[in-house]
C-alpha cells in the first residue's frame, strides 16, 4: 500500500511539473463564451517557455589598456672625445735682427732696419686707428638703429598686407552673399509673393463666409435668448466632503452634487448614490450604453472624463452618465480614511451581481496610482484578489489586480514585459486599468452590444470587452458596470 501511494505521489508531481500552461484552445470560435474544454479565457498573456522573459544585461568589454611592448628603451649617446690641440709652429727668433724666418723671404738690407721702419709705421697707424675707432663705433650704432627701423618697417608692411588681403576676402564674401540674396529676393518677389497673395485672398474669402455664418448664428441666438435661460441641471444646495457627508447633511436624493474633500482644492461635480445599501456611495466609474470612449490617455484618466449626469425631464440630474471620476480625485478621497468599494454589474438578460471590498485605496500619481484592496464579499467573483478562477497556477496569478499600477496606452505600467511597446495590456484591451498580465476584470474595455463577441471582432484578437471573468468569462461584454466608494465604518 505504501509503495502504491508513493507511486501515485510521484505521478502527481510529474503531472504538475509538465502542466505549465492552461490547456485550452485559443483558436476555438465555436462558442464565444466556452470552448470544448469548458474554458475559453484569454485575459492573461500565457508564458511561452523561456521565449519572453527579461533580457539580462550583456557583458561590456573594459576600455583598451596600454600595451607596454609598443615602445623600447632609448639608445645611450656616444661618449664625447677630447678636443685635439694643434701644436704651435715656432718661428725662429720671432723677427729678431740677426735671423729671419725662411717663409718671410730675404730681408733687405737687414732685419734691424726693417724693425725700425715697422715701428715708425706702427706709431702712425695707431694714431689713425685711434682716430677711426670712435667713428666706427658711431657708424655701428647708426647701422643697428637703421637695421632695427628697417625690420620694424618690414613687419608693419607684412601686417598691413595681411589686413588688406583679409579685407579683400571679406568684401568678396559679402559681395557674393549680397548677390545671392538679391537673386532670392527677386525670385520671391516675382513668384512667391503673387502665389501667397492668391492664397491669402482665398483665406480672406473663407473668413468672410465664416463671419457671415457667425452673424446669422448670433441673430438666431438673440432670438432664442429673448426669454431668460433656465438651468436644466441645478446643483443641490447641500454639499460636503464626499457623498456620505452629503447624506448625513440631508442630501438623501441620488443625483449630481458638488463635493470638496480638501479645502485647499476646488470643489467638483460627482454623482451620489443615496439609495443602494443605505446610500453614501460616490460613483467613480460607470458604463451603461457605450456613449463614451474609454480608450483615453494618461492625462485624461488623471483628470477624469465623460458625463457626470443628465436630466430626463424631472428638473434635476438624477440619472448618471458614463464617466471616469479621475485618478487624482479617486486617490484623494480614498486616502482620507478607510474606504470601501462596491462594483455592480449587469448582463444583457437583466441579471445583476456585485463584488464588494471593505478596504480600497488608490495611491498618488508618484506611485502610478497603485491599487490596494481587501475584504471581498459578493456573488460576482473575487477578481481583484484571486484572479480568474478558470485559470491555474502562474496563469491565474497573472490576472490578479491587487497591487498593480495604473496603465494607459501611452504609459505602460503593467507586468507584461515592461518596456516592450509591443506588449502592452492597455493598448490591446481597450482602456486604462490596473493591468497585470493582463486582467481578470476589464471594466474600462471596449463596449460590445449584445454581450457575446469573438476574437475576430476584437481589434487585437484579445478579450478587450467590458469583462468580469469570474462571472461571464472573457468573451462576454457586460451591458452595465459601475464602481462606487464610500467611507468604511462599522455598522451600528
pTM: 0.58
Cell matching residue 80: 664625447
**% of the chain at pLDDT higher than 70:** 74
Q: Kindly report the backbone phi and psi dihedral angles of residue 305, in degrees, each rounded to the nearest multiple of 5, phi listed first.
A: -160, 170
Task: Give the residue-averaged pLDDT of 307-333.
Answer: 87
Topology (CATH) of 243-487 = Gamma Fibrinogen; Chain A, domain 1 (3.90.215)
- Whole-angstrom Cα distance, residue 41 to residue 462? 10
DSSP string, 223-292: HHTTSPP--SSPPPS--BSSHHHHHHTT--S-EEEEE-S-TTS--EEEEEE-SGGGS-EEEEEEESSS-S
Cell of 401: 489586480
Q: Is 41 helix (H, G, I), strand (E, B) or coil?
A: coil
Q: pLDDT tens digits, residue range 54-110?
A: 233 333 333 334 444 433 444 555 665 655 555 555 544 444 444 445 555 554 555
Q: Is the pLDDT of residue 170 over 50?
A: yes
At 346, give phi and psi (nearest 5°). Answer: -145, 140
The per-residue pLDDT for range 176-224, each reduced to its tens digit, is: 888 888 888 888 888 888 888 888 888 999 999 999 999 888 888 888 7
Per domain, the residue ranges of the chain are: 123-229, 243-487
319-320 and 323-324 beta bridge pairing: unpaired
| First CA to last CA distance, the chain | 58
For strands 371-378 and 352-362, give the pairing: antiparallel
**Tens digits of per-residue pLDDT, 366-405?**
999 999 999 999 999 999 999 999 888 888 999 999 999 9
Reply yes or no on whether the pLDDT at 21 is more than 50: no
Burial class (CB in 10 A: 0-12, 13-18, 19+), 233: middle
DSSP E strands, 347-440: 352-362, 371-378
Report the alpha-carbon distance of residue 414 to residue 425 in Å, rounded: 7
Question: What pLDDT band is residue 447 in, cutting at 50, 70 and 90?
Answer: very high
Is 120's pLDDT higher than 50?
yes
- Lowest-confidence pick of 28-42, 155-169, 385-399, 474-488: 28-42
Mean pLDDT of 414-440: 88
Amino acid at each position: 500500500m505504501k509503495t502504491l501511494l508513493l507511486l501515485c505521489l510521484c505521478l502527481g508531481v510529474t503531472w504538475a511539473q509538465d502542466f505549465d500552461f492552461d490547456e485550452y484552445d485559443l483558436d476555438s470560435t465555436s462558442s464565444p463564451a466556452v470552448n470544448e474544454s469548458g474554458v475559453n479565457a484569454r485575459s492573461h498573456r500565457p508564458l511561452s517557455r523561456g521565449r519572453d522573459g527579461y533580457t539580462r544585461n550583456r557583458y561590456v568589454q573594459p576600455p583598451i589598456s596600454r600595451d607596454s611592448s609598443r615602445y623600447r628603451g632609448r639608445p645611450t649617446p656616444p661618449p664625447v672625445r677630447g678636443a685635439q690641440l694643434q701644436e704651435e709652429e715656432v718661428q725662429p727668433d720671432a723677427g729678431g735682427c740677426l735671423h729671419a724666418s725662411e717663409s718671410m723671404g730675404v730681408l733687405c738690407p737687414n732685419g734691424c732696419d726693417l724693425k725700425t721702419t715697422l715701428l715708425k709705421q706702427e706709431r702712425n697707424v695707431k694714431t689713425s686707428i685711434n682716430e677711426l675707432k670712435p667713428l666706427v663705433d658711431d657708424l655701428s650704432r647708426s647701422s643697428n638703429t637703421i637695421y632695427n627701423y628697417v625690420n620694424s618697417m618690414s613687419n608693419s608692411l607684412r601686417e598691413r598686407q595681411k589686413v588688406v588681403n583679409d579685407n579683400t576676402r571679406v568684401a568678396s564674401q559679402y559681395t557674393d552673399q549680397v548677390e545671392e540674396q538679391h537673386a532670392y529676393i527677386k525670385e520671391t518677389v516675382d513668384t512667391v509673393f503673387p502665389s501667397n497673395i492668391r492664397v491669402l485672398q482665398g483665406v480672406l474669402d473663407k473668413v468672410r463666409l465664416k463671419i457671415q455664418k457667425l452673424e446669422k448664428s448670433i441673430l438666431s441666438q438673440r432670438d432664442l435668448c429673448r426669454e431668460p435661460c433656465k438651468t436644466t441641471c441645478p446643483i443641490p444646495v447641500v454639499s460636503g466632503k464626499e457623498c456620505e457627508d452629503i447624506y448625513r447633511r440631508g442630501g438623501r436624493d441620488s443625483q449630481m452634487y458638488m463635493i470638496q474633500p480638501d479645502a485647499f482644492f476646488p470643489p467638483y461635480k460627482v454623482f451620489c448614490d443615496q439609495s443602494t445599501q443605505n446610500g453614501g456611495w460616490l460613483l467613480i466609474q460607470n458604463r451603461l450604453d457605450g456613449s463614451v470612449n474609454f480608450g483615453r490617455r494618461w492625462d485624461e484618466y488623471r483628470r477624469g472624463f465623460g458625463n457626470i449626469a443628465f436630466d430626463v425631464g424631472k428638473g434635476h440630474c438624477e440619472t448618471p452618465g458614463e464617466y471616469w471620476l479621475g485618478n487624482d480625485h479617486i486617490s484623494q478621497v480614498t486616502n482620507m480614511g478607510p474606504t470601501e468599494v462596491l462594483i455592480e454589474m449587469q448582463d444583457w438578460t437583466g441579471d445583476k451581481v456585485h463584488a464588494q471590498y471593505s478596504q480600497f485605496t488608490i495611491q498618488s500619481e508618484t506611485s502610478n496610482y497603485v491599487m490596494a484592496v481587501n475584504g471581498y464579499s459578493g456573488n460576482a467573483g473575487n477578481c481583484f484578489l484571486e484572479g480568474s478562477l478558470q485559470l491555474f497556477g502562474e496563469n491565474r496569478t497573472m490576472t490578479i489586480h491587487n497591487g498593480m499600477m495604473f496603465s494607459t496606452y501611452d504609459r505602460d505600467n503593467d507586468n507584461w514585459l515592461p518596456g516592450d511597446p509591443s506588449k502592452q495590456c492597455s493598448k490591446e484591451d481597450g482602456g486604462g486599468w490596473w493591468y497585470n498580465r493582463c486582467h481578470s476584470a476589464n471594466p474600462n474595455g471596449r463596449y460590445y452590444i449584445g454581450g457575446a463577441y469573438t476574437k475576430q471582432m476584437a481589434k487585437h484578437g484579445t478579450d478587450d470587452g467590458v469583462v468580469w471573468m469570474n462571472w461571464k468569462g472573457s468573451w462576454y461584454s457586460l451591458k452595465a458596470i459601475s464602481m462606487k466608494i464610500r467611507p468604511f465604518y462599522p455598522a451600528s
